[in-house]
Amino acid sequence: MNKKKPKILITEPIPETVIKHLREFGDVTVGEKGLFQSEENLLEEIEKFDALLCMLSVPVSESVLKKGTNLKVVANFAVGYDNIDITAAHSLGIKVANTPDVLTEACGDYAMGLLLALSRKLKEAEKYLRNGNFDGWEPLGFLGMELRDRNLGIIGMGRIGQAFANRAKAFGMNILYHNRSRLDLNTESRLDAKYIKDPIKLAEQSDVLSLNCPLTESTFHLVDTDFLKHMPEHALLINISRGAVIDEAALAEALHDNVIAGAALDVFEKEPGVHPRLLSAPNTMLLPHIASATHRTREDIGMLAAEAIISVLNGKDDNEIPNLITP
């Protein structure tokens, strides 16, 4: 008799190559887009499954984990995992994995793209042309910030922060950073980066400030009204980390009041919701969480999550499970 295949829930459509790979191993169910962003919907279904491959937007709470009596592994289709109750998972013996590394280069490219578009007012200029207002070259039209010799402050100098720093350095920017722990001297030298212990001091010195940090108790609403007041009036803010690192109401007011000159945001505290005052803020780019949106990267993310699931369900030791999050 054939061994019963494990049941795997993928909470919404992902690259077909990943789904096909998992179907060679288990009985795979793929949810509709957004269906399992509801904890109630997840609670109704989770006890059927041995493995969960989920998005960052899926609330894998203690209640969900306890209801998942057959659940052996949760693999997040993301670097972050603040949507998962890690403590509860470990106490229940459920393995948790994420997908670092594979997003690094795509996110580094994207952060640089946001900076170029924001600093040179590309969105506004294109809208101006499309609206039929372009009637000839203007010497004072859409003047922006030249990046050479400007200070780029990075909060969170992990893999993605360093990838962005490498790109910005090629544009002649000076790299300043704040991190939970200082980088080793060799890495600082390679990036030509200066460590600033106090994030407020970093804000004061940054022409551009990029958020590349995880969401923790210390980074929740790190960028608030007081923080923004310490930034130069010409400064630009970029966030591709987690939405809740910014107090969005405070940022919206700062943009409307010209406390800072602009912002480019790829993430939001209550996705897919966006603070309404941000929608009308000047010199603001708002993007729908697409920093890792390349064909190669999204497939790599899925495959990494799939391999973690297969490894756990095959009974491999913890040291053989890709990107296992340990207690």
- Domain CATH code at residue 260: 3.40.50.720
Mean pLDDT of the region 146-169: 98
In this structure, the answer to whether residues 220 and 152 fall within a common structural domain is yes
Question: What is the average pLDDT across 152-178?
Answer: 98
**Residue at 267 is within a domain:** yes
Nearest CA to 115 out of 153, 79, 156 is that of 153
Residue 225's domain spans which residues? 104-286
pTM higher than 0.85, yes or no?
yes
Same domain, 108 and 84: no
Mean pLDDT, rounded, for 311-317:
96
For the stretch 174-225, pLDDT in tens is 999 999 999 999 999 999 999 999 999 999 999 999 999 999 999 999 999 9
Residue 63 pLDDT greater than 70, yes or no? yes
- Could you report the per-residue pLDDT of 116-151, keeping only the tens digit for each? 999 999 999 999 999 999 999 999 999 999 999 999
Q: Alpha helices, DSSP H only, in 180-241?
A: 185-191, 199-205, 225-229
What is the rounded distance in angstroms from the CA atom of residue 180 to the CA atom of residue 119? 28
**What does the pLDDT read at residue 327?**
73
Q: What value does the mean pLDDT take over residues 6-32?
A: 97
Same domain, 267 and 229: yes
**Does residue 326 lie in a domain region?**
no
Query: Is 327 a domain residue?
Result: no
* HEC assignment per residue over 225-258: HHHHHCCCCCCEEEECCCHHHECHHHHHHHHHCC
Domains: count for the chain: 2
Specify whether 39 is catalytic: no
CA dihedral sign of residues 259, 280, 244, 211: negative
Chain segment 180-190, per-residue pLDDT in tens: 999 999 999 99
Mean pLDDT over residues 60-79, rounded? 97
Q: Quick check: 212 and 162 in contact, CB under 8 A? A: no
With a pLDDT cut of 70, the percent of the chain lying above it is 99
Based on the fold, state whether residues 193 and 215 are members of the same structural domain: yes
For 327, counting Cβ atoms within 10 Å of its Cβ (0-12 exposed, 13-18 middle, 19+ buried), the class is: exposed
Is residue 123 included in any domain, yes or no? Answer: yes
pLDDT at residue 3, rounded to an integer: 75
Q: Does position 251 have pLDDT exceeding 60, yes or no?
A: yes
Mean of the pLDDT values across residues 22-47? 96
**Residue 2, pLDDT above cutoff 70:** no
CA of residue 22 relative to chain centroid, distance: 25
- Residue 239 pLDDT > 70, yes or no? yes
How far, rounded to the nearest angstrom, does the alpha carbon of residue 326 sit from its chain's CA centroid? 21
Taking only the tens place, the pLDDT of each residue in 278-301 is: 999 999 999 999 999 999 999 999
Task: Report whether pLDDT(62) > 90.
Answer: yes
Q: Is the pLDDT of residue 1 over 50?
A: no
Clarify whether 90 is annotated catalytic. Answer: no
Catalytic option among 242, 275, 298, 307:
242
Angle at 89 between CA 86 and CA 93, to 5 degrees: 140
Considering the domain architecture, whether residues 135 and 268 belong to the same structural domain is answered as: yes
23 is known as an active-site residue? no
Please check whether residues 270 and 169 belong to one and the same domain.
Answer: yes
Arithmetic mean of pLDDT, 217-235: 97
Q: Is residue 277 part of a domain?
A: yes
What confidence score (pLDDT) does residue 213 get?
96
